């Protein structure tokens, strides 16, 4: 094997609930507007729009519990509480009936968004990359192996203890198994792919000095503090 001309940073290892076991991520695949109430608050009609996807680089992910710098080039950083699903077994053209067998585990996550840059990109019909894929833009909690993927649980977001988002996972327009099936028709899913499954209504700004917490029933909470 030839010597590498450039050595990229080592891929971080993220915590799981299995003793002595961590995970590395391959990429981060995100679902847009997967809760009807959030789609409406962003000015869209959830009844007429199929699912769409965007990516964050794996290098954008930061572990829960960190203090991160307020990102540059924005005056309007928003939280988005999301269920994250980690793919353990890859595949293409996966059926919804088989989709959950490809899941290793799940976690609470926060899809941080430079909302002002996203609004500009939408207005100019340009990609969202710099609004969604910046440093530390995805906060990932402990990944729980084989946790139940049911819709009876609630997802919540709090900023300095004040409740901002609160919804059942059953409010997803496209449930997890359909998200996996749909993605696998667009690309081959790989072990280590992390899927962020969308956020409910109530997204809003996080200011410097504030702590944002994402809670999902049955999973460890995810926190981040803005410096």
Q: How far is 37 from 132, CA to CA, in rounded Å?
A: 20
Q: How far is 210 from 112, CA to CA, in rounded Å?
A: 14
**What are 57-113's pLDDT values in tens digits?**
999 999 999 999 999 999 999 999 999 999 999 999 999 999 999 999 999 999 999
Q: How far is 15 from 31, CA to CA, in rounded Å?
A: 23
Q: How far is 124 from 173, CA to CA, in rounded Å?
A: 27
With bands split at pLDDT 50, 70 and 90, how would you rate the model's confidence at 151?
Answer: confident
pTM: 0.95
């Amino acid at each position: 094997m030839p010597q590498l001309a450039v050595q990229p940073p080592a891929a971080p290892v993220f915590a799981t609930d299995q003793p002595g076991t961590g995970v590395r991520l391959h990429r981060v695949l995100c679902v847009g507007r997967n809760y009807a109430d959030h789609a409406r608050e962003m000015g869209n009609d959830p009844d007429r729009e199929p699912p769409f996807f965007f990516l964050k680089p794996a290098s954008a992910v930061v572990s829960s519990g960190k203090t991160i710098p307020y990102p540059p080039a924005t005056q309007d950083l928003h939280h988005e509480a999301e269920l994250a699903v980690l793919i353990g077994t890859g595949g293409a053209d996966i059926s919804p009936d088989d989709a959950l067998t490809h899941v290793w585990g799940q976690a609470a996550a926060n899809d941080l968004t430079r909302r002002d840059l996203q609004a500009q990109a939408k207005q100019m019909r340009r990609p969202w990359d710099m609004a969604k894929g910046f440093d530390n833009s995805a906060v990932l909690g402990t990944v729980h192996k084989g946790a139940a993927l049911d819709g009876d649980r609630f997802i919540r977001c709090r900023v300095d203890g004040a409740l901002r988002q609160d919804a059942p996972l059953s409010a997803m327009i496209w449930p997890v198994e359909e998200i996996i099936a749909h993605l696998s028709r667009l690309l081959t899913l790989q072990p280590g792919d992390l899927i962020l499954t969308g956020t409910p209504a109530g997204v809003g700004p996080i200011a410097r000095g504030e702590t944002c917490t994402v809670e999902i029933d049955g999973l460890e909470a995810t926190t981040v503090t803005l410096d």
